[in-house]
Amino acid sequence: MADNDNQTPSERQDAPAGEGAAADEITVLQTEVAELKERHLRALADAENTRRRAERERLDASQYAVTRFARDMLLVSDNLQRALAHFPAEARADASPAVNAVLEGVEATERALTATLERHGVRAIDTTNVKFDPHLHQAIAEVPAEGRPAGSIVNVVQSGYVIADRLLRPAMVTVARKEDGPSSGTEQASEKES
């Protein structure tokens, strides 16, 4: 009986019962191994997702870090463009060589500023022959535009810009108004008089 007290529970059982316990223990261990494998794969996936998120945030930070500075530089570009627009080509022909030299310097400065902005991912929004897009344009007025479809851009008041793939500043535009037919206009006028 003393020998029986020193035996482990599996040793106390006879041989067939010992095999059953071993099989149960193997099953438990296999389940535990499967759970550990699943946890390991989840941990690897979480680590990979964290790495990707950090890389995306790093890329965003590098692409958009100059956003506020770029907006400020756009004001400078606008002023240079306004200065050039107020001196038409006809007036240049009659201007003195000194005035023409200043204008050439302003043009060169404006080109250099535009090229520098483009190198840093800041691009002007194309507004030639496009329909109004509220994600890229800000309509400041609707104007009659003969021969133009309603909703198309008639005039650009201020250029818009994107930085990488984000809107930096919307283009301020005037948009073609839907023209009322002559019969509907006279019908409205007669209704008002009644």
Mean pLDDT is lowest, of 4-13, 45-54, 109-118, 134-143, for: 4-13
Domain residue ranges of the chain, discontinuous segments joined by +: 14-65, 68-120, 122-182
Question: Mean pLDDT throughout 58-76?
Answer: 85
Mean pLDDT is lowest, of 13-17, 89-93, 143-147, for: 13-17
Distance CA 49, CA 56 (A): 10
Distance CA 153, CA 132 (A): 6
Average pLDDT taken over every residue of the chain: 83
Predicted confidence at residue 181, as pLDDT, reads 53
Enumerate residues 6+ apart whose C-beta is below 8 A from 139.
Answer: 132, 173, 174, 175
Cα-Cα end-to-end distance for the chain: 121
Angle, alpha carbons 185-190-192 (nearest 5°): 95
Predicted confidence at residue 114, as pLDDT, reads 93
Structure tokens at 65: 């870090």
Sign of the CA dihedral with 42 first, then 46, 52, and 53 last: positive
DSSP collapsed to 3 states, 172-192: EEEEECCCCCHHHHHHHHHHH
pLDDT in tens, 3-43: 555 555 545 444 455 677 888 899 999 999 999 999 999 99
The model carries a pTM of: 0.60
Looking at 3.30.830.10, 2.30.22.10, 3.20.20.450, 3.30.70.20, the CATH number of the domain 122-182 comes to 2.30.22.10
